[in-house]
Amino acid sequence: MIIVGGPASNGIDEAISKILRADLIKAESKVFPDGESYIRYPRPLGNEEVVIVQSTYYPQDKHLIELFLMAETAKDMGASKVTAVVPYMAYLRQDRRFKDGEALSVKTVLGILSHVGCDSLVVVEPHHPEALKYFKGEVKLVDPIPALAREIKKEVEDPFVLAPDRGALSRAERLAKELGSPFSYVEKERDRTTGEVRIKELPQGNLSGKDVVLIDDIISTGGTMELASKVSYKLGARKVIAAAAHALLVNNALDRLKKAGVKDIISTNSVNVQGDVKVVDISELIAVRL
């Protein structure tokens, strides 16, 4: 087995290589003056199984193109099997057409990944796992909830797990099981044109005096968790922390959450996290899936 570190491998490639005692190759990359991506393997791959580690956080399109180039080139060079380890898989949230005429982005992206020769795909906490049906090969999921729970336990005394919307309820239930706590969700409503979010239904359960743990797969702009934090304090929460598999934190999300009273943010190294965030290493969780 050869581990290939892509330009957005975020150190996970090196950790996996050490854990599995496998050879590590760093893919050479650059961007041409016109913006096109260049990829090269510095040595032959032989008839080996190749595991490409490449997350697809911002800039998503660039990192996806690099992944496609690495995958097809590995197959062209004779790799017996190509596995793509994509800790954060972009475009999975566009898994249905919310408005007529919209692109089904997840189908397109996973279709290309299948076409360029990926035999297997490893993803950490996808938005909707069923959307991965568009990938033609083997799919392996990595569950970061137990690892996040171990870090969360250091920060809370009497936890109450709260999903910031109904879609995250299964994650809240999984985390609550790890923490031995009650759980509920906030019902939100999003304007598909403006992106504005409002609370539709308050959570059930007693949040008074509780350390509320907000859990979701992604923190992007932070708008959903901002509302959930404010609701939690109105219902008597002692403090609020936020946890997610993927902390994208775009458009000043970190400041937004802090202003809403979120005391701590806990996430993983699936993306290159910036700012005051406690990061849990998921390299070992990925390694055991290979």
Rounded to whole angstroms, the Cα distance separating 197 from 208 reads: 24
Helix 105-115, helix 60-76: angle, nearest 10? 20
Is residue 56 part of an annotated ligand binding site?
no
Alpha helices by DSSP H, listed for 41-180, are: 60-76, 105-115, 145-152, 169-179
Contact at 8 Å (CB) between 85 and 39? no
The torsion region of residue 200 among left (phi > 0), alpha (psi -120 to 50) and beta comes to alpha
150 C-beta neighbours (distance < 10 Å), count: 11
Is residue 11 part of an annotated ligand binding site?
no
Is residue 224 part of an annotated ligand binding site?
yes
Is residue 190 part of an annotated ligand binding site?
yes
Is residue 127 part of an annotated ligand binding site?
yes
Is residue 36 part of an annotated ligand binding site?
yes
Is residue 246 part of an annotated ligand binding site?
no
Catalytic residue annotation: 188
Binding residue ranges for ATP: 34-36, 93-94
- Binding residues, by number, are 34-36, 93-94, 127, 165, 190, 216, 220-224
Residue ranges at the known binding site for Mg(2+)? 127, 165
